[in-house]
Structure 1
Amino acid sequence: MTPRVAVVGCGHWGQNHVRTLKEIGALAALSDADPAKAAALSERFAVPAVALDALLADRAIDALVLALPPSLHGPTARRAFAAGKDVLIEKPIGLDAADAARTAHAAAEAGRILMVGHVLRFHPVFERLEAAVGEGRVGAVRHIVSTRLGLGRFLGMDAVWDLAPHDLSLVLRIAGEHPSSVDTLRRTVLSDETDVADIALRFPSGIGAEIHVSRVSPFRDRRFSVIGTEGMLTFDDLAPEGQKLAFHGHKVWREGAAFAFRSADADYLDTEPGLPLDRELRHFLECVATREAPRTGAEEAVETVRILETASPRKAA
């Protein structure tokens, strides 16, 4: 049987969860602090709008998707675990590493599924890139570069916490280990918080990574590159279909006391179709049904918050 899921928090991204779960056939209820918004979505998607306390008490609800302000993710998830629910929490799962660790511990103690909504991990182009790296297409990985630039999204949270979780989840997956150092250059440009940031990561194996995020860029850029000893792969999310994943057989080698290089034209790799959110939610439903650990589970969720906290310490309330 398909697990019965309720969405808690029906803002912009929460509504995407509502729509997608409805299409899958797993949406059982929704909940929002704004009764008018909940009622409108209830009518639109033909599912009941239910208060949070009632959802937690309803044994027919198997799992929750939380798309709340991040400060509410931890406390709400811990209540859900205590009530016997599995939970997918939108990123970030908390605003400090200690709170994130408490949430992970609560899930483990209750024997419940905790999954974090790092949706780009389920993008078919990233999955193909990950497979190509695993196959040795770029040789030994030496460096990773992720760029997320655009205009907008001033949501009371700085650009590091709002934008960088996407990139961190991809970097951590390719690196396959936790960073040993995190250095950040942050700049306030047009708002009262960090608008632009450059994050440098170093991993124990020697792999390096850099993440560039901006919400005050005059142009959009969504590229993720893996640089290795035998070539380079780039996932360009804004490229046309059929050109989103490119392999460049660039090579650099030593010639005596100097270095030489050879560039190569792009070789575009075939990728599967599919919407990342649909794939993410189907994976969550499978984990709820089979009790398998999710691909974006508690360890990744806590480590991402730890890095974010290191990269951009939040102001005391």
Structure 2
Amino acid sequence: MSVAPETLVHPALRVAVIGAGYWGPNLARNFAMSTDWELVAICDMDLDRAEALARKTGNPAVVSSLDELLARHQIDAVAIATPARTHHQIAMQAIAAGKHVVVEKPLADNSVHGAQMVEAAAAAGTILMADHTYCYTPAVLKIRDLLADNELGEILYIDSTRINLGLVQPDVDVFWDLAPHDLSILDFVLPGGLSARTVTALGSDPLHAGKSCVGYLSMELESGILAHINVNWLSPTKIRRMVIGGSRKTLVWDDLNPQQRLTIFDRGVDLERQEMMRADAEDRKGATISYRLGDTWSPALSEFEPLGLMVSEFAASIRGARPAPTDGPSALRVLKVLEHADRSRAAAAATLSTDHSTAAMENAR
């Protein structure tokens, strides 16, 4: 069993990881390495897989069910790394037992389940946190600081691309697989959070997999910002890039460029001069657009493992009895946008089907 050093000020919290598949090993490793935590158990229906993970993370106990975990082990919290459709049942049982919960993305398989999890945690006085890992990266933390300091001016638009030749997931489409990363980042960095006025989405299934493998999601936020997200499982080129355009500066985050992940451009359309020129129609005829040319710079970023910071923040939230930076309500906002995207695609498909039916009837007359 991995044992974190205890002090009189902060005794180590006891945690179990539920799910030893794709993401569970990353959580288990970070909990085992953290001085805030003692990794007590690994829970997975596949005991061989759980035991293999336990051998790599200090030999915590291994159990095959949540009932066994709660009955046999004294724990403060659970980390859930199972398919999204199981998150609600596991989290609700853990919360009912008085345990704090961190869940890998997405929070749940629908917003009704997500809301029930949020309400249950609030009623029980426990912490419910979403493992939105990108929000704990040095680049995204820096972006949040820059926007809080109004470094870019008024945010005008956001354009995000997350594409690669990826694994077609068995239980979710490309929107639910990849877009939660970008949506959670926007909720984290924007001062007003993720508050969408409209959501429009288009998806394509060229593989005939029965789900969207390529997707485009556009939102108009309550603040007036236009945000666009492109997700794709079929691209031979891997791109992880976000552009945030402001009235004074523009930020480009290229997550795959470790030498220069963030770049700030002090150039673009000079909006202040544009306002001055509007009063003079003759000037506008001669120079409709005024451009600003300035410096380009890249802020220095610290290097650390985001999951390590995430598990530390989980502990700090529990000890301080305060909401986590990526708490249940923030994860619920992400869920609601994903559901709006589903409804947008369904409505577009229904409209197209109706148009085709009407055209066929007209042709038959």
Name the TM-score class by shorter chain. over 0.9
The match for 2:189 is: 174
The match for 1:158 is: 173
The match for 1:39 is: 51
**TM-score (norm. length: structure 2):** 0.82
Q: 1:274–1:291: structure 2 CA closer, same or farther, 3 Å change rule?
A: same
Per-residue Cα deviation, 1:228-255 (whole angstroms, up to 9, x for no partner): 00010111110133x1111001131325
Per-residue Cα deviation, 1:266-290 (whole angstroms, up to 9, x for no partner): 3111111111111111111111222
The match for 2:15 is: 5
Asked whether the equivalents of residues 232 and 247 of structure 1 are also in contact (C-alpha less than 8 Å), the reply is yes
Distance 2:144 2:72 in 1: 40
1:216-231 aligned at under 5 Å gives the runs 216-231=234-249
SS for the counterpart of 2:241 is strand
Q: CA deviation at 1:59?
A: 6.1
Tell me how large the CA RMSD over aligned residues is.
1.7
Relative contact order, CA 8 A, sep 6+: which one is greater?
A: 1
SS for the counterpart of 1:284 is helix
Asked whether the equivalents of residues 156 and 225 of structure 2 are also in contact (C-alpha less than 8 Å), the reply is yes
The match for 1:308 is: 338
**Ranges of 4+ aligned residues in structure 1 off by more than 6 Å:** none
Q: Percent identity?
A: 32
1:44-59 aligned at under 5 Å gives the runs 44-45=56-57, 46-50=59-63, 51-58=65-72
Q: After the TM superposition, which of the residue ranges 174-183 and 116-125 deviates more from structure 2?
A: 174-183
Q: After the TM superposition, which of the residue ranges 49-58 and 136-145 deviates more from structure 2?
A: 49-58
SS for the counterpart of 1:12 is coil
Distance 2:77 2:148 in 1: 33
Distance 2:232 2:13 in 1: 38
The match for 1:20 is: 30
Q: Which consecutive unaligned segments of at least 5 residues does structure 1 have?
A: none
Distance 1:111 1:59 in 2: 21
Q: CA deviation at 1:129?
A: 1.3
The match for 1:90 is: 104
Asked whether the equivalents of residues 66 and 90 of structure 2 are also in contact (C-alpha less than 8 Å), the reply is no
Q: Which consecutive unaligned segments of at least 5 residues does structure 2 have?
A: 1-10, 278-283, 347-365
The higher radius of gyration belongs to 2
Q: CA deviation at 1:56?
A: 2.0
Matched, 1:273 2:290: no
Q: 2:216 aligns with which of 195, 198, 201?
A: 198
1:130-169 aligned at under 5 Å gives the runs 130-156=144-170, 157-169=172-184
Distance 2:56 2:131 in 1: 24
Give the helix-richer structure, 1 or 2: 2
The amino acid that maps onto 1:236 is D
